[in-house]
Amino acid sequence: MQHEIVLKDGTRFPALGFGTCAIGDWQQDDDYVVDTILKAIKAGYRHIDTASLYGNERSVGKAIKASGIPREAFFVVSKVWDTEQGYDETLNAFDASLKRLDMDYIDLYLVHWPNPAKTQATWQALEHLHAQGQVRQLGLSNFRPSDIEQLLSFAKVKPIYNQLELHPYLTQRALCDVCDKHDIYVSCWSPLGSGTWSGVPTNEKPIADAVVLGIAEKHGVSAGQVILKWDLQQGRIAIPKAESDKNIKANLELDSFELSAEQLSAIDQLNRDHRYGGDPDTAYEGNMKMQVPD
């Protein structure tokens, strides 16, 4: 039984999603990506996370079609990239994403990174798409407390979700508190501490931490399963990426154990404020050099 998120309007979707960033390689979009996503769908994933910048929206759409499962059974997330922000630019970016996905609508559309100078225009474009029924829910990614407060000062449609880098070495407690205050669900990208694409040695990731390994041993599960359970038990959404059959399945198999309050606290205390990915305070200049592929 998968953990579910239930929104105020009755929308339901799995709290555990399948991350597609850099399957195989960065911006890879081919049969290998399609086959990997199909494996995830066959294992039971219905919440699929992509983005225009990932360059694999076509593969996501192909895999969902090839699965033979109705589109309505899926919760599909995509994102508007920094170079695409602004009112008209966002509308054009959405149209391109929808065409690549080969779908009639996207379940959740996110602003990938904050750009305060364009946030209002970008959000108004998202609200237009929402009013047209082309997007079912609106959300954020990497938004800081100041970005959230700015957006809420003019938003007519509130974001349901803020996707952050969050793992035992970067717990982002203050930002989570702001999200909770505004009924915004926290979703975790790189929940296990970064993928193989990052070049970070495994022994430097939270999945190799002695505290996490000790808890995993007590429950007879993997360190990755412990971290994902730590997220879900605290009401967060997690978006792990996996490519092997073993890891794809293991990330879903979280029902056989429950973490105690002491174990949850012990993992919380591993925080080092350590980022593996970009920092919203400094990411903008570099992000603007990264292009969405056709």
Q: Which residues are annotated as a binding site?
A: 112
Q: How far is Cα 107 from Cα 130, in angstroms, rounded to an integer?
A: 10
Instruction: Kindly name the residue from 45, 54, 161, 185 that is annotated as catalytic.
Output: 54
Q: How far is Cα 21 from Cα 14, in angstroms, rounded to an integer?
A: 19
Task: Give the amino acid at 121.
Answer: A
Q: What are phi and psi of 26, to 5 degrees?
A: -60, 125
Q: How far is Cα 46 from Cα 51, in angstroms, rounded to an integer?
A: 16
Tokens of 77: 């997330």
SS3 assignment, position 18? strand
Cross-strand bridge partners of residue 76: 48
Q: How far is Cα 102 from Cα 110, in angstroms, rounded to an integer?
A: 18
Burial 81-115 (b: 16+ CB within 10 A, else e): bbbbbbbebbbebbebbbebbebeebbbbbbbbbb
Q: Specify binding-site residues for substrate.
A: 112
CA 135 from centroid of its chain's CA atoms: 17
Q: 161 near 140, Cβ under 8 Å?
A: yes
Q: Where are the alpha helices (DSSP H) in the chain?
A: 31-43, 57-67, 87-101, 119-131, 145-152, 173-181, 210-219, 223-233, 245-250, 261-268, 284-287
Residue 54 appears among annotated catalytic residues: yes
Q: How far is Cα 180 from Cα 160, in angstroms, rounded to an integer?
A: 11
Q: Annotated catalytic sites, by residue?
A: 54
